[in-house]
Amino acid sequence: MSVMERMFQEAMRLTDTTALPAAVSLEIADLVPRPQIRKYFGEAALASLAESLRSYGVLEPILVRPRKDGRYEIIAGERRYRAACRAGLKTLPAIVLEVDEQQAKTLALLENLQREDLNPYEETLAILEWLELALSRPKEDVIALLQRMRDEVRKKVPHNVMGSQEAEEIQTLFRLLGKMTWESFVQNRLPLLSLPEDIRGALEEGAIPYTLALALRKVSDPTLRRQLLEEAKQGMSLRALRAKIQAHLQQTTSPPPFYRQALSRLAKVRLETLPPARQKAVERKLKELLRIIEETTGLRG
């Protein structure tokens, strides 16, 4: 069994409520959220959940682990914790787990990745963090490894990664998650890491889909990007957005200078295929052009 499969199975075992200890009631004041990938919690969704907790209570316990200071670190369920605080609750049902840091991190990642409302940017970070854990590599190395795998599949570079243990672990994770292939992740998700701040913020808030975010990433003019971003938030289609971006690029892209166009066209001409008279006429013109350049610049031969 691979490292990835062991991690995944262990995380799944620890989230199986039928095999976990009974839930206990813990004071909210004794709960501490752990740092996690998920940063954005929609205000409207939190308010709705808080109202539900006031009316019906907390139906699903959160997962925590004990801290040395006598308090409890939240492994899974921070959204319920935030909503409970907003609802004014004093206690929360919780299942206390005796797990180490790596197990806690794996559990938190799996809980996030299984959420339907996790935005694409945070999902990308969560998958990369899981790969960091499994491969014992920093994020930069994991990204470089994924890009190398892509280039090898495209036959741009020699094969020396595909078929390795690390490549197999990566493919195993994407197979277990069942969300996308590793190729799709490299092509469509890794570019999200370099989004401008305004686009990333809109994506994290759920204001635009990631396909529009990737399209907007191509716009370097901040003023135009802000304008198009607002239109995207209003529901502009991907096709319409791409058309506007293309029109802008055509307006701002200057054609190459005439001499470059002429040289490019000359490079494609085989003079020996021209009729003799035409060939001599072209050669005379080229010699005259060279003479002018040499007299002007002092460059010869």
Q: How do beta strands 91-96 and 24-27 pair? A: antiparallel
| Dihedral pair phi/psi, residue 232, rounded to 5° | -65, -40
- Angstrom distance (rounded) from CA 29 to CA 49: 19
And the tokens for 12?
A: 């799944």
**Catalytic status, residue 78:** yes
CA distance 267 to 250: 26
Which tokens sit at 166? 């690390």
Distance CA 216, CA 241 (A): 8
- Which among 77, 168, 194, 182 has a CA at the least distance from the CA of 127? 182
Residue of 73, 78, 168, 197 marked active site: 78
**Which residues participate in catalysis according to the annotation?**
78
